[in-house]
Amino acid sequence: MGNYPPTAYKPSRRGLVLKNSRKKTSRDGSISKPSSFRKKKIRDGSKSVKTSTSTETDDSCNSSNKYRKFSQSRPIPDDAPAEIKLVRQYLYYKDAHNMEGMDSITAKNCTFFFIDADADMPKSEFYEALKDTYASFPDLHFFWKYMKISGIDSATGCTIVKVRDYYGIGKHTGKPYAFGPYEAIPATDKIVQDENISWAFFVKDGKIVKTTLDAYGEIVGPPGFYSKIGGVIPGL
């Protein structure tokens, strides 16, 4: 899932043109992936959440116990870092559609930033969009490959936990689903799978302070789900 409301979603025309020729087909052949966009980023061999403030290190640079990987398919061991346990619990709550649980371990001023969005999104907007998606896709569940501590943010002192290849999948059997001002679409019974994202959590003092989500140029969240059930967004 990488869900975010229309107020934070303003794709660039240039990005849409660059990605418009790339079309894919979902597993059941009924859902075509929309064109995608992203802002170009300089790659220097390491991946940073925000290069101006973060001292995050590349995944391959750390072999110590603190930086080991934890997969979704295995229980978190007792000796795992507290930050790993916290993020894992957050993802459990999200998969269980437990909004109160998610809210309880995110800081009051926690923000969610999508790499291609114009601004950070307050958690109230993020959770509102998530509730709408749950209502339209009641069996929505989430999957990911692994998580690990990838560094410390030098500006805030937060520990960064990165979750790789995170995505949601669900069937549109609930309420009509809409994106922004566009027409809501009644239940289609289509199975929709969101695009993979890299999700970084900034953790401090037992709370998630902020997160950043990178969809590698793909359309994710409400516009992605809307497009995959047949919605038309001008320019996509």
DSSP assignments along 130-145, one per residue: HHHHHHHSTT-EEE-S
Rounded-to-integer distance, Cα 186 and Cα 229, Å: 9
Among the residue ranges 8-22, 51-65, 113-127, 129-143, the one predicted with the least confidence is: 8-22
User: Tens of pLDDT along 163-184?
Assistant: 999 999 999 999 999 987 889 9
pLDDT score of 233? 84
CA dihedral 233, 130, 165, 101 (to 10 degrees): 170
Is residue 135 included in any domain, yes or no?
yes
- 14, pLDDT greater than 70: no
Is residue 211 included in any domain, yes or no?
yes
Is residue 209 included in any domain, yes or no?
yes
User: Tens of pLDDT along 101-143?
Assistant: 999 999 999 999 988 777 888 999 999 989 999 999 999 999 9
**With pLDDT > 70 as the criterion, what percentage of the chain qualifies?**
72
Is residue 61 included in any domain, yes or no?
no
Is residue 63 included in any domain, yes or no?
no
Owning domain of residue 212: 6-37+69-228
Q: State pTM to two decimals.
A: 0.72
What's the number of domains the chain is made of?
A: 1
Is residue 56 included in any domain, yes or no?
no
Q: Which two tokens stand for residue 98?
A: 């437990």
DSSP state, 220? Answer: -
Is residue 49 included in any domain, yes or no?
no
The domain that contains 27 carries what CATH number?
3.10.450.50
Judge whether 231 and 65 are in contact, CB under 8 Å: no
User: Tens of pLDDT along 66-88?
Assistant: 789 999 999 999 999 999 999 99
Is residue 48 included in any domain, yes or no?
no
Region 220-233 average pLDDT: 88
Triad 65, 53, 222: Cα angle to 5°: 90
